[in-house]
Amino acid sequence: MTALDTDSLRACLDGVLPLARSAGAILMEGFRHAPTVRLKSRSDLVTEFDERSEAWLRAGLAERHPDHSFVGEEGGGQPGELAWYVDPIDGTTNFAHGHPFFCLSMGLCRGDEPLVGIVLAPALGLEWTAVRGGGTFRNGARCQVSGCSSIEDALLASGFPATRASQPDNNYGTFLALDAATHGVRRCGAAALEIAMVSDGAYDGFWDIGLKPWDVAAGALLVREAGGVVSDFDGGPLGLRSGRFLATNGRVHAAVQRGIAGGFPRPPLGGIGRTGLPTQGEVG
């Protein structure tokens, strides 16, 4: 594929989507069947299904688009002019525990510019797709970001880095502050899927630190094509390797930036009774 107009990108998406769905079927072979887990670190898991899914996608994309390079979470790779960034299972910990909140993520990029995006959550029966200039779709229906304009009314999502137990820049304080300032902050453990949920209005925004290109390449395009805004924490252009990712509906973008920068007070860690469980007022 040499042309990068919307029609050519849509043809690329149509050709690759069956490959992604087949990879999703591979994942479902292991879901809730106690897959063997190998630890990259205590909070960073990998299974044979991560590896099988990535191998399937790598081989299929090489056959369909030999001029494209491939960069996968498990097998790596060097990006060329056009590169697919692939996470074969985003949310492997969820997958390994039988939790349905996981997905595969595939984003075709030219440099830091996403061109085609696919996020497929097979256990949930959800599929988001986008091409540059062509809009975002979930299960065939066009997506649009939410209309929420008040941070107090917003529902956000976030996550924590795998190194959260050992590094001070772990997002905990920001999470608490924005959780107190909004309708709540969800943390479901699959960044690509949560970014996709910004594109369809389920979340008003998402931020995280320590993300990799395969986590954000597809989701960034989904949000942009649905009318949202994607940036680094300071509002500058997104770099796929910056590790500081913010996506919102646009209307609450500045407010979330302010929260990330420490503009909202962190609530006290109260409400814990003698049992160690949250008191009634603390349950959200």
Residues 22-38, mean pLDDT to the nearest whole number: 93
User: The tokens 């910990």 sit on which residue?
Assistant: 93
Give the range among 38-47, 175-184, 247-256 with minimum mean pLDDT: 38-47
H or E stretch at 156: strand 155-158
Res 276: pLDDT: 42
pLDDT confidence of 280, banded at 50, 70, 90?
very low
Residue-wise pLDDT tens digits, 52-81:
999 999 999 999 999 999 999 999 999 999
Cβ atoms of 37 and 46 within 8 Å: the answer is yes
Secondary structure of the chain: what % helix, strand, coil (to 5)? 35, 25, 40
Closest to 46 in 3D by CA, of 80, 77, 91: 91
Q: Which residues are catalytic?
A: 73, 87, 89-90, 92, 215
164 DSSP 8-state letter: T
Locate the domains of the chain by residue range: 6-142, 151-260
CATH topology for 151-260?
D-Maltodextrin-Binding Protein; domain 2 (3.40.190)
Task: Give this prediction's pTM.
Answer: 0.91
H or E stretch at 207: strand 205-209
CATH topology for 6-142?
Fructose-1,6-Bisphosphatase; Chain A, domain 1 (3.30.540)
Q: Where are the beta strands (DSSP E) in 16-94?
A: 37-41, 44-47, 69-72, 82-90
Cβ atoms of 251 and 241 within 8 Å: the answer is no
Strands 103-110 and 113-121: antiparallel
Q: Provide the token pair at 174.
A: 């920001």
